[in-house]
Amino acid sequence: MHRTPPVPALTAVLLASLAVAGCNRGAPAPAPQTGAPVAAPAAAPPPAPTPPPAVTVTGIDLGNAVDDDDRVATPLVAFTRTDTLHASVATTAPDGATAIPGKLTARWTYQDGQLVDELSQDYTFSGSTHHAFQVSHPEGWPAGRYKLEILLDDALVQTREFTVDE
């Protein structure tokens, strides 16, 4: 024999369930009870220190002589085999900045990247100034294509290509 539950009783149970669910809709979920203390949110890390003002390399001139201010007397892109090669590297520190430490490197290479010489010098930069580098080859430079790379604090910032003629 099959028995059907009375409809009014079933309806009352269903309505009671919906009423209870509706009352909890806006309530926050209860916090889990683990017994462990709840940690406070982590404090924000302190702000990073302000980097020092940036020094920039504003130009490079090549020649076979420099003056008393480390400027190339006559800029050249082609040299003779007996020339001493000079580079004048112009730098600028931001206005008002004084005593910014840094390092300039002059890397001279031949043809396919063969290292000729690499010279580094520590400086204290301020304002606009020139820094001189030189390299010579007592037996005479082989004819061909050369490149000068200038690095500021070990980062390549400018290059100049030049030739040594027969």
pLDDT 10s digits, 38-84: 566 677 787 777 665 689 999 999 999 999 999 998 999 999 999 99
- In the predicted structure, residue 36 carries a pLDDT above the cut 60: no
Element (H, E) at 22: helix 7-23
Asked if 150 and 89 count as a contact pair (C-beta separation under 8 A), the reply is: yes
CB-neighbour burial class of residue 116 (10 A; exposed 0-12, middle 13-18, buried 19+)? middle
Q: Which amino acid, 93?
A: A
Asked if 114 and 145 count as a contact pair (C-beta separation under 8 A), the reply is: no
Please give the domain boundaries of the chain with CATH numbers for all domains. Answer: 56-164 (2.60.40.1930)
Average pLDDT along the chain:
83
Q: Which amino acid, 75?
A: P
Asked if 165 and 82 count as a contact pair (C-beta separation under 8 A), the reply is: no
pTM for this entry: 0.68
Token pair in block for residue 93: 């520190």
What is the Cα 75 distance to its own chain's centre? Answer: 31
